[in-house]
Amino acid sequence: MTGSLLYSLADGRRIAYAEWGNREGFPCLFFHGSPGSRLFGKYFDEPARRARLRIIAPDRPGFGRSDPVEKYTFLGVAEDALALADGLGLDRFAVVGVSGGAPYVYAISTVAPERITVGGIISGLAPIDDDETEGRNAKLVTAMRSNSRVAEVRLRVTSSGLGWAVRVLRRLPTNLRRPIIARFARSLPKADQEVFARDGIADIGIEDMGESMRQGSRAVLQEVAAALREPWGFDLRDVRVPMLMWHGTKDQNAMCSTARRAAGLLPQCDATYYEGEAHLCFMNHVDEILEAIARAASGSQP
């Protein structure tokens, strides 16, 4: 991994990013989860070395060390990522998004399809229909789309509370932190509980989320509004980049039924569904996933 780096955009804003994996490998722009930061790439560092992928993981505007933006849109963030790719001298590259990072893979693939060899969607968020009622995000969609002031206030309070809790956890010694994490883990699907219990998984997650809210919770609110209430600004049917998708059938954060519908809308999508696994399914299959991305990315070169 490289240390945290900064790239200046034409409008004066700065993007923070980190590099993971193999510096000589095929370049891959990596979009973290939500909330999240460039540090999320730590989960993929060693597997990316083995797959010979160079992972470039930027903080989105207002997350981590990246400067905030007044108007937050998926397409706007995609343009920022393309500017970073230009600054790094990347001609063609792969793009990967995990969870809340998935919309940016779709966005950048509509903006510059000629530059992207393959897109990877891992436990990814997809547009949610009004009639979908299952899963955590579907319930939030209903509240946000009602334009309820109460729903917005609750979201603000929840985001602020999450930021506070993560900051406290980061400061606690390990012997005090573990019982709190274990209690939180009991709220997860069984498959995710088993993943979360592995050594180091929770610690990386806490570090990542703490860094994501370094500037407060405003960016989280902007991103949630873009994902759950505002139009995305493009149609999945217009995504002309070949897509690979991996999803757990028991995912409660990004419902598998929504992922299946998204896979059906995408013109080119090869989807893998892990039966009985949940949102953290990628932790069980990370080598398999990154090797598939590396094969597809390098194989599509002219």
Which stretches of the chain drop beneath a pLDDT of 50?
301-302
Say if domain 5-299 classifies as CATH 3.40.50.1820: yes
Q: What is the pLDDT of residue 302?
A: 40
Measured CA to CA, the distance from residue 54 to residue 72 in angstroms comes to 27
Measured CA to CA, the distance from residue 252 to residue 59 in angstroms comes to 25
Q: What is the pLDDT of residue 3?
A: 67
Question: DSSP E strands: which ranges in 60-208?
Answer: 93-98, 116-122
Residues 6+ apart with CB under 8 A from 121: 96, 97, 102, 105, 243, 244, 245, 246, 247, 259, 262
Under 8 Å between Cβ of 11 and 38 = no
Residues 6+ apart with CB under 8 A from 282: 98, 122, 123, 246, 289
DSSP-assigned letter for residue 113: G
Q: Where would I find the H helices in 72-148?
A: 74-87, 102-111, 136-145
Element (H, E) at 54: strand 53-58
pLDDT tens digit sequence for 203-252 = 888 888 888 888 888 888 888 888 876 679 999 999 999 999 999 999 98
Q: What is the pLDDT of residue 291?
A: 97
The residue ranges of every structural domain in the chain are 5-299
User: How do the residues of the chain divide into helix, strand and coil, expressed in percent and rounded to 5?
Assistant: 50, 15, 35
User: Half-sphere exposure of residue 65, counting CA atoms within 13 Å on the CB side?
Assistant: 15
